[in-house]
Amino acid sequence: MNTEPEPDQQHAPTDPGYYAGRGVTSESEQQMRAAYTRTIRGAAERPASTAPDCDLGMREERQYLADSVDAYRRYPIEMQRLHMQTLDALIDGVDMGMTAVQWRSRRQARELTGHGPWSPPLDPLSAEAARLRPYLLGDPGHPSRYTAAPTQLERVMRADFGHLHRLRWERGRLTAATEDRTDTEYQRITTLMFVIAEPWLTRDDVLGREWRDLRTLTAGHYDTSDDFADAVERIQHQHPRDEAMFARTVRQIRDLERIPEPSPSSDANRSSAPFLFSSASAAARTAELARRNRSTR
């Protein structure tokens, strides 16, 4: 299976528009990347533009790109290993100490030196994205499993996370047998994981935040259901949220990680149960328990 999205058919890498489709919003950065590609490939034609090849603000970034190309040419194995490590870090939300512009330069350098394509992010609702998902209905990586979600986009987001979770498990079995991160199968799985995750990683909306909550909760280790409930409480007040959506997130993690639901006695003894997401709902529950106690006397 090809784990990379299809290449850009509308623009050549010597065209600034090629980089607009890869998350570059700055025209000066688009121009710099297109100009550098023309230099590398020896292209004589210039795109129809009166902008300079590289303005003063992009000279340092152009040098970083040139250094990255040089590194790929001189140390291809090491750079491929670093690329895989960076994909892992981005999937897990780990800071690699580089800017978004520098990451784009690394991806462009990888493409320019023939070590792999720099593909635009997938549209999660596209047919191409759908072809990457498991085809069995009810699979954790299939949107049909998440019928409680009110929108198709949320169902797709949860399916993509479920698919990512399964791929991580498959890769874990692989790395148990070999620590070689240049292994072809390891690279294939890691690349597919990033292709699936990339559209959600940079979203600054409710679904992007929910993706990050899913990622945070799966990163934990829970010996008991109460440990998981504690983790839920720690993150549920970090930012304003859609409480019903977060409840679906908690249920999905319980399902993926096979965490049992808390017992009623455990729930009653907790000061804040995992599915009580506001002081108002907690107060209503307290009032209901008090009413029931009075009715049994």
Beta strands in 235-276 (DSSP E): none
Rounded Cα distance between 121 and 103, Å, is 14
| DSSP-derived 3-state class of residue 247 | helix
Length of the chain (residues): 297
What would the mean pLDDT of 203-208 be, rounded to a whole number?
Answer: 92
What is the per-residue pLDDT across 97-128, written as a single tens digit (0 to 9) for each? Answer: 999 999 999 999 999 999 999 999 999 999 99
C-alpha distances in Å from residue 146, one per residue of 39, 241, 280: 49, 19, 28
Q: Count the neighbouring beta carbons within 10 Å of the beta carbon of residue 105.
A: 25
**What is the pLDDT, as a whole number, of residue 218?**
94
For the ranges 54-58, 65-69, 191-195, 253-257, the lowest mean pLDDT is seen at: 54-58
pTM of model > 0.85: no
Q: Where are the domains of the chain?
A: 16-112, 127-257
The band of 5, judged by pLDDT with boundaries at 50, 70 and 90, is low
> Do 47 and 37 contact (CB within 8 A), yes or no?
no
Rounded Cα distance between 196 and 91, Å, is 10
**What is the pLDDT, as a whole number, of residue 283?**
41
C-alpha distances in Å from residue 236, one per residue of 80, 172, 232, 266, 275: 38, 29, 6, 19, 10
What is the per-residue pLDDT across 12-57, written as a single tens digit (0 to 9) for each? Answer: 999 999 999 999 999 999 999 999 999 988 744 444 444 445 566 7
What would the mean pLDDT of 198-216 be, rounded to a whole number?
Answer: 93
